[in-house]
Each structure stands twice: as structure tokens, then as C-alpha cells.
Chains A and B, each alone.
Chain A
């Protein structure tokens, strides 16, 4: 398919985008970084104003891209495809924050590790044929073979390992990629198509503020990468990792984090169980954080997991007076959240 020319007004960067390709995809592949988050149409951080030309809004949900915004020529870069040559401008500031970004690329790899690590949770390690440089906290998309369905999973390995990507996948009942593939037919040696890296969540630069990391379920995946990276590079003065589950059956990689805790006096690991009494912390992970810190002023936080947990954690940190601009969030939204956000149903992939 022939490409349309897309130009970013202020940066002046020009790229070529196919009629079936999202504007975000075209730019990231061209190593031009644009603000984005979920690549699913739910977070709204990729909004662009179309100054000239015409786009197809694709599967942009009405909740994220309102009819008024469409009228004003705003679109979601991760959903929109060009219908003509375009002149566009991101709504969010594209500032140089000193973080090195890696271009989006297509890769293939084969499954070398597939193991059950917790209740309904599998570790999948994919050995790539080529390197995929990324930043700690970013994610990649995996294709459910032959289906054209892509799903987002965060890298759990540190960014120093660019050939072997580790993912933690939680089973969603009735889910196409999980119930229907990772927890069904997937086997060691299988070839998997991967595209990445994507996302802005994570720790890549030194920071002065102590950091609280709060993970729910497989929200631990990006945190593992970030903890390993931050400790190795000494990026954060003090690091607190909270991992929430219902019972001990939901926790994993505890030995690794306890070993890191023994080795690094500035790292603290705090697993929390909401439905089991044990010698560790008991209660919702957010309540445990609330009890542990009298004040979170001057600290920063990274939150990852199901949207409800991320929201609850954000509220708790606010109560403890952490500055909202220092709270970073990655929500594991899925097809059900997308449907709730008003995405066109037929094409919810």
C-alpha cells in the first residue's frame, strides 16, 4: 500500500504512513518519539491535532476521543490512519526530557521458557533473532498467531538484556491471547511475532526522590525490570516495592526480591495479601502503603496493574500528600475496559 506523507508542524519531522498503519506506529518506527501510553485508545496521551488533511479515527473509543474533539480535528495517533497527506501537531508537549528512546520495530523470536509461576500466571521468555533495545518499564506487543490480534505485555527483564525478553502473563477467563493461547496451545520452541518497544512508563534516569513501586498481579513485570535496572545503575536513592495478591499463590519471584533486599540496603520488598493471614503484610496493597507511610511528600511512585488498583493507589498517595506529577501509572487495560470506554465493538482487537 502506498504511503501518505505526514508532517509534524513544530518539529518539522516528516514520515511516510501507509493507509492501514497508525500515525503513532509510523513515527515510532521512524525513531521520532511521540507522546503515547497504551496504544489501545484508552489513555488519550497520544492526541494529535490534524491541521491539514484527513484521517480515519479507527477504533478510537468515544470516551477517549469525544465527538467534540473529533469536530475540532483532534485524533488519537495510536488509532488514526491517514486518508491523505497530513500536517499534524501533538497536543501534549514533546519536550526533551533526556530519556533516550528506541525505535519501534518488528521482530520474531521463539519461546525458550514457559512456566507456571503463580496462580493463573505464566512466565514466557522469548529469544529474539535480533536485539530489541528498550527502557525499563516499557512493553511490547505479541501477536496471537495467525489471528491478527496483538496484545500488550511488559518486559520483566532488565534493559541490559535485549535479546531475551521475559513476560509475565496472567490468565483472563475467556481472553483470546491468554485463555486461548498462552494458557492453551503455546509451547516451547514456538515462533512468536513481537513488536516493540512501546510506552513511556518506567525509570530510565537518575532521580532524587525515593520511589514507591506498587504492583498488582502481573503488574510486577515492569517493576522487576525497573528494580533490576535502578539498582544496577543506582538511579534511585531508596526503593520500596509493594506486590499485592489475594493469597500466597498469587505471589512470585519473592526469592529474587528478598535476595536483592539482602544485597541492597536501599531496597525494600513488601508483598501484601488481601485474603490470607500470614507473617507478612495483610490487607489490600493500597491499605498497607497507607499504613506504612505517614507522609509521602517528596517521594515519587510507579503504579502498575489492573486499572482499579492503579486508581486506588493513586488516591492513597494523594492522601499521603505525594505530588501528583511524581506519580506514574501503567494500567493493564483489556478488551473489557475498551468496551466500557465505548470502543467500536466489532473490531475490539
Chain B
């Protein structure tokens, strides 16, 4: 591949481990020097500026959605991320109805508020908690789990599944032949997938004959002729998309919002005092630490030039939305969390036909979750004795988030 020989050393030498620890310095240089660059460690191109991500993400006539190789290995085909045209329309037609804002408004408060209350009640008298493990992740998975019809699956199991799928999905490193550099990295995802099928198959059997109002029951029946259900091989890859990204990301978003606010104690206090500011706090956090940092890709149908880089038809470009959201051309001091910054729209939910289907649902889950947390523990404080480590390149958020409060 010609692109490899032209690659500057600093790009050629970047490793997954470095990116997962802290992708920002590398990406800052990419945005300045190589907005669309071939990265040998990944075997594909990366778009890092806001303009390039915007252009590629939104021009659906030129760019098709495509799953990264590790993502495809993890989810199988046909995942909603990886299909286009009528096949994509059908899968979006399957997942979208429950996620329309007007529909979400109908159920979301009743669904999420009791869940958030329950998880806060479990630790509110302890005076300390790891908010990632005890609040953000459980609220995130329970809300979507109940919506999907997975009441019988424990929150801990749902968390275990997304963590395992995440490991495989982001096992992106390739060797010089373009083969996966670390094949064992797919074992956790394979295990999770097998277990998911073992748990879900009986549920799908039940919904086949006894449809109910759960999202997965609708996925089986909606748009199908009387008496038929959608082939479950068509459903499972998108189930895995949900059980990873959709389960994990509202949790990342809540945790990053709290971590961001803790960098600005005055703003944290304002938000706790005035819950109406929670929406804005979440929006800024999605820009500041985008949960889906660099996980989705596009492939061009025709030869294209983006940001000066020629891309022959069939080039796979990964959209690093987490980097686009730190583009200094759009945001002043982009690495600072700032509730009051000028409201330039962020790209944390992606763009174009493959843009996130769960924007409204996810935002409402985060809002209601944080409302309940700050309402019950308005004296929440950062535990200053513990570091806040962010991790991840594909998906990114705080690993743990330790808080203290007086009881």
C-alpha cells in the first residue's frame, strides 16, 4: 500500500496503548499536520478535524457507513453500522420508533427516575461511592435494559457484557500484513456474544409467540407480514451494537459530566443549585470527552479528496469525533471543560444517515440520572485523594469516579 511508505514516523510509530491512555497529543498534531491520515497501526485512515469529520460524516451520497475490522469481527454482519441503502433503512426502521423524541417523552421519566432513585438510595448514606460503578453504569444499563425487555438480566451482567464487547471492538491493532495483531483480544467479546445468545434466544422465542411492548419484541414484529417475525440473524448484530455502545455511552456521558464539572468547582455548584443547567452541562461534557471517541468509520464509493488527502474509492476512514470536538478552529481552549462556552454544536453523536439513533433517549437518561444524583446528594464532593483516570480511544470516559459527602 503506497500510503504506508509516505507515512511520517510519528504517525507510523503510534501504538494503540498510547492512544488509549491519552489520544489528545497525537490528535492535536494530526489536526495541524495531517487532518486525514493513514495510520498503519490501524490499517486505515483517520479523520481528525471537525471539518473533515463533518464532510465525510454528512455526505452520505459519497460515503457509506462501514464497520471497522475489529468492530465487524465483534458484531458480525449485518450490524446497523455496516449496512447502507434499503438494508440500512430497514434496520433504522426497526430501532428508531422507540427512540423518537415524542415517543421517548412518553415513557422516559417513568422508566429512568425510579431506577436512578434506587441506585442513589443504595449508597446515599455511605458518604462515599465510586460513581462509575455504583451509579453511572448501572443507571445507564438498567434504563436501556428495561426498555429492550431485558428485565431478567442483572445490571452487573449487562455491565460485564459491554465491557467485554468493548475490549474486542477496540482491539483494532493490525500487523504489517493487515492481520489483527492481537487475536486473543477477541476472546472476551466471543464469550459475551455466546452468553448473550444463550440468554436472549429464549426471550426471542417467547416474544415470537407473545409479543409485548419491549423494544426487542418490536424488533421481531414491526414491519413484518402477519404471522412472520424478522430473522434473528438479521437482528443479533444490531443487538450487539446496542449491548455495547448504547448500554455503555450514557454511563460514560454522566461520569464525564461530573468529572468535567469537578474541574470547575464554581460551575459544579451552579449546576447542583440549578438543575435546569444539567442539560447544558451534559452537552459540554459530550464535547469535552466524547464517549464514542473514535469508533465508527465510512468508506467512499468514488475517488475523493478530503482536506488535501486523495482517497481512492474504497478507502476506509475512521471518524474521530472526540478529536473533532477539540478542534481549535471551532472551540477556544478545547481541552477545558466550560459550561459557559459559546454553543458551537458538537459532533459527539456523529453525522449524516448513520448519526446516532439514541440522541434524545441518551440525553434524557443522563439528565434524569444527574438530576436524581444531585437532588439526593447536593453536598457531593470529589474525593481529592483519588486520581481521575480517563481511558479509551474507541470509547472514552473516566474509569472510576470517587466522591465523598457528609452523612
Inside 8 A of B352's CB, which chain A residues have their CB?
none
**Contacting residues, chain A, for B274 (C-beta < 8 A):** 324
| Distance in angstroms between the alpha carbons of A320 and B378 in the assembled complex | 9
User: Which residues of chain B come closer than 8 Å to A68, judged between CB atoms?
Assistant: 342
Which residues of chain A have C-beta atoms less than 8 A from B105's C-beta? none
Q: Is the CB of A318 within 8 A of B376?
A: no
Q: Assess whether B72 is interfacial by the CB under 8 Å rule.
A: no
A86 within 8 A of B: no
With A68-B342, A314-B273: A321-B377 Cβ-Cβ less than 8 Å: yes
What is the minimal beta-carbon distance from B394 to any residue of chain A, in angstroms? 35
Find residues 335-392 in chain B having any chain A CB closer than 8 Å to their own CB.
Answer: 342, 374-379
B378 touches A323 (CB 8 A): yes
| Bitwise interface map of B from 271 to 298 toward A, beta carbon under 8 Å scored 1, else 0 | 0111110000000000000000000000
Q: A68-B342, A319-B406 are in contact. Are A297 and B376 (CB under 8 A)?
A: yes
Task: Give Cα A319 to B376, complex, Å.
Answer: 11
Residues of chain B within 8 A of A324, CB atoms compared: 272-275, 374-375, 378
What 1/0 mask marks residues of chain A from 64 to 104 whose CB sits below 8 Å from any chain B CB? Answer: 00001000000000000000000000000100000000000
Pull 19 A–B residue pairs with CB atoms less than 8 Å apart, ordered by A: A68-B342, A93-B276, A297-B376, A314-B273, A318-B272, A318-B379, A319-B406, A320-B379, A321-B376, A321-B377, A321-B378, A321-B379, A322-B378, A323-B375, A323-B376, A323-B378, A324-B374, A324-B378, A325-B275
8 A Cβ contacts from A29-63 to B: none
Nearest A residue to B372 via CB reads A323
Chain B contributes a number of interface residues (CB within 8 A of A) equal to 14
Query: Contacts of A323 on B, CB cut-off 8 Å?
Result: 375-376, 378
Q: Which 7 A-B pairs have the closest CB atoms?
A: A323-B375, A318-B378, A324-B273, A319-B379, A318-B379, A324-B378, A319-B406
Shortest beta-carbon distance, A115 to chain B, in Å?
38
How does the 8 Å CB contact mask read for A316-344 relative to B, with 1 for contact and 0 for none? 00111111110100000000000000000
Apart from A323-B376, A324-B273: 18 A-B pairs, beta carbons within 8 A = A68-B342, A93-B276, A314-B273, A318-B272, A318-B378, A319-B379, A319-B406, A320-B379, A321-B376, A321-B377, A321-B378, A321-B405, A322-B378, A323-B375, A324-B272, A324-B375, A325-B275, A325-B375
Per-position binary interface string of chain B over residues 148-183, scored 1 when its CB falls under 8 Å from any chain A CB and 0 otherwise? 000000000000000000000000000000000000
Chain A stretch 276-303: residues in CB contact (< 8 A) with chain B: 297
A325 to B378 alpha-carbon distance, docked (Å):
10
CB distance from A302 to the nearest CB of B (A): 15
B275 / chain A contacts, CB cutoff of 8 Å: 324-325
Task: Give, as a whole number of angstroms, the nearest-CB distance from A154 to chain B.
Answer: 22
Distance (whole angstroms) from the CB of A208 to the closest CB of chain B: 15
| Chain B proximity of A62: nearest CB distance (Å) | 14
Q: How far is the CA of A323 from the CA of B379 in the complex (A)?
A: 10
Query: Given the complex of chains A and B, what is the CA–CA distance between A324 and B378 in angstroms?
Result: 7
In the complex, chain B residues whose CB is within 8 Å of the CB of A297? 376
Chain B: minimal CB distance from A22 (Å): 24
In the assembly, what is the distance between CA of A320 and CA of B342, in Å?
35
CA distance A327 to B269 in the complex (A): 14
**A321 surroundings in chain B (CB, below 8 A):** 376-379, 405
A68 to B375 CA separation, bound complex (whole angstroms): 30
Residue of B nearest to A326 (CB): B375
227-251 of chain A: CB within 8 A of chain B = none
Q: Which residue of B lies closest to A93 (CB)?
A: B276
Chain A neighbourhood of B405, CB < 8 A: 321
Cα distance, A68 to B273, chains bound together (Å): 23
- Complex CA–CA separation, A322 to B377 (angstroms): 8
Closest residue of B by beta carbon distance from A296: B378
Closest residue of chain B to A92 (Cβ to Cβ) is B276
Closest CB in chain A relative to B344 CB, distance in Å: 13
A325→B376 CA distance, assembly (Å)? 11
Contacts of A319 in B (CB 8 A): 379, 406
> How far apart are the CA atoms of A319 and B406 in the complex, in Å?
7
CB of A287, distance to nearest CB on chain B (Å): 15
Which of B272, B273, B274, B342 has the most chain A CB atoms closer than 10 A to its own CB? B273
CA distance in complex: A324, B374 (Å)? 8
The docked-state distance in angstroms from the alpha carbon of A18 to that of B274 is 34
| Neighbouring A residues of B276 by C-beta, 8 Å | 93
Contacts of A314 in B (CB 8 A): 273
Q: Which of A304-323 contact B (CB under 8 A)?
A: 314, 318-323
B271 smallest CB distance to A (angstroms)? 10
Most chain B CB neighbours (cut-off 10 Å) among A318, A319, A322, A327: A318
For the complex, what is the distance from the CA of A112 to the CA of B193, rounded to whole Å? 83
| Docked complex Cα distance between A182 and B378 (Å) | 41
**Taking the nearest CB of chain B, how far is it from the CB of A319, in angstroms?**
5
| A68 nearest CB across to chain B (Å) | 7
- Distance in angstroms between the alpha carbons of A327 and B342 in the assembled complex: 29
Give the docked Cα–Cα distance between A297 and B406 (Å): 13
Nearest CB on B from A65, distance (A): 13
Instruction: Give the CA-CA distance A68 to B332 in the complex, in Å.
Output: 14
**Distance (whole angstroms) from the CB of B269 to the closest CB of chain A:** 9
Closest to A322 in B: B378
Kindly name the residue among B272, B276, B377, B378 whose own CB sees the greatest number of chain A CB atoms within 10 A: B378
Chain A residues positioned under 8 Å from B342 (CB to CB): 68
A68 and B276 alpha carbons, distance in the complex (Å): 20
Chain A residues closer than 8 Å to B375, beta-carbon distance: 323-325
Chain B: minimal CB distance from A50 (Å)? 18
Write the B220-240 contact mask toward A (1 if CB under 8 angstroms, else 0): 000000000000000000000
- For residue A136, give the distance in angstroms from its CB to the closest CB of chain B: 24
Q: How many angstroms from the CA of A3 to the CA of B375 in the assembled complex?
A: 45
Contacts of B374 in A (CB 8 A): 324
Query: In the complex, which residues of chain A have a beta carbon less than 8 angstroms from the beta carbon of B272?
Result: 318, 324
In Å, the complex CA distance between A318 and B380 comes to 9
Q: In whole angstroms, what is the CA distance A156 to B132 when docked?
A: 49
Complex Cα spacing A148 to B342, Å: 39
